[in-house]
Amino acid sequence: MDDDMRSLSFLFLFLVSLGLVFVAGCLQTNTLNPGNTALGTNITGNSSSNASGSQVLIPGTWKSFTDNGKDVCLSGGKPVVRLFSTTWCPHCSWIKATFDAVAKEYVDAGKIEAYHWELDSKDDSLTPEIESDVSSAEMQIFGSGNPQGYVPFYSFGCKYERIGNKYEGTTDGLVNEEKDFRELIEKIISDSKTQ
């Protein structure tokens, strides 16, 4: 009987340890990028919040996005919108369908170029093809506004950036995210015409 209890205790400790390793992996992993920066999610999915957890807006921001002061980047005369995520990140999974639908709508209308890089699979989920590499130029964009490597990471026109999801866990969270995406896309389209 003692051997059975020892085996059960060992199994329990093993499973607890495995669970802790998984949680730690969700918070940080260095296996996806050669710069050894962390890719992960924070607990709230918010990039900046006060002690109560509500979003803090600071100068140089547009809603929850930071304005990095750069001009809107263009490809083929159109602003470029990017989402960097992973397939295993719960915050990324939460926003994926909403971001992809909005991005595809604007791409199909010929108004923007868009990429949704899933860094662990190296695939752009907005294309029917299965890519096997994320270019160094794309990884540079990911790292420049996000030195810690958190996902999801948004880059709208190379000018507006955000780590995490502003409305995750709130009533109508996806509706509000979609509204912000649309407003910001319209803003970068307008900004690109005046620069």
Per-residue model confidence as pLDDT tens digits over 70-81: 999 999 999 999
Please state which of the ranges 46-50, 66-70, 120-124, 150-154 shows the lowest mean pLDDT: 46-50
- The per-residue pLDDT for 63 is 76
* Percentage, residues of the chain above pLDDT 90: 65
pLDDT band at 52 (very low <50, low <70, confident <90, very high): very low
DSSP 89: -
Contact 55, 64 (CB under 8 A): yes
Instruction: Compute the distance between CA of residue 129 and CA of residue 123 in angstroms, rounded to an integer.
Output: 8
- The per-residue pLDDT for 25 is 42
Residue ranges covered by each domain of the chain: 1-29, 31-194
* Percentage, residues of the chain above pLDDT 70: 68
- Mean pLDDT, all residues of the chain: 79
Instruction: Compute the distance between CA of residue 25 and CA of residue 190 in angstroms, rounded to an integer.
Output: 40
- For the domain covering 31-194, report its CATH number: 3.40.30.10
- The per-residue pLDDT for 79 is 98
- The per-residue pLDDT for 185 is 97
On the question of pLDDT at 18 being above 90, the answer is no
User: What's the rounded mean pLDDT across residues 93-108?
Assistant: 98
- The per-residue pLDDT for 141 is 95
- The per-residue pLDDT for 64 is 84
Give pTM, 2 decimals. 0.72
User: What's the rounded mean pLDDT across residues 99-127?
Assistant: 97
Task: State whether residue 68 is helix, strand or coil.
Answer: coil
Q: Which residue has the tokens 């992973």?
A: 86
Greater confidence (144 vs 58) lies with 144
- The per-residue pLDDT for 61 is 61
DSSP string over 154-181:
EEETTTEEEES-SSTTSTTHHHHHHHHH
User: What's the rounded mean pLDDT across residues 180-187?
Assistant: 96
Q: Find the largest Cα–Cα distance for the chain.
A: 78
Instruction: Compute the distance between CA of residue 101 and CA of residue 20 in angstroms, rounded to an integer.
Output: 34
What Rg do the C-alpha atoms of the chain give, in angstroms? 19
